[in-house]
Structure formats: C-alpha cells, structure tokens
Amino acid sequence: MNQTFTVQGMTCGHCEKAVTTAIKTLDPQAEVHIDRGQNRVDVNSLQPRESLAEAIREEGYSVDA
C-alpha cells in the first residue's frame, strides 16, 4: 500500500537514512523513497499510516497530517 508523507526537517543524506531506517525498523519489508527537495517520503507498507508517521516523528522530524 503506497503511502505518502510530507516531512519537514530533512536537511541532508543522513536525515534520509535516519528516516529510512526508522521505517524499515518498524517494517523490514517496507519500500521507502525520499525526495528531500520536495519534503516527500513515499512508503510502500502495510503498516498503519499513523505508526509510520510516529516512527518518523521519533527521529525528530515533523510529519504533516
């Protein structure tokens, strides 16, 4: 299931990796694609949207509703 999040605060490649790792820790099968310039995180995962958003927030980034 494709889910798109708008994530603020990703400033560099380390941030992309941190967000990717947070999502994959929650769901190792998840596919993650990040377009940092667009603040966009696309996730293919069966996990609930709010769980994925919370995993991103726990890394210190804000996720738009």
Contact residues: a second copy, CB under 8 A: 9, 11-15, 17-18, 60
Query: 47 is written with which tokens?
Result: 């996990």
Place of tokens 């603020």: 8
Q: Which is nearer to a second copy, 24 or 49 (CB)?
A: 24
Residue 62's contacts (CB-CB under 8 Å, 6 or more residues apart) are 7, 8, 9
Shortest distance (Å) from residue 49 CB to a second copy: 25
Q: Within 10 A of 19 (CB to CB), how many other CB atoms are there? A: 25
Q: Which is nearer to a second copy, 36 or 40 (CB)?
A: 36
Q: Which is nearer to a second copy, 18 or 27 (CB)?
A: 18
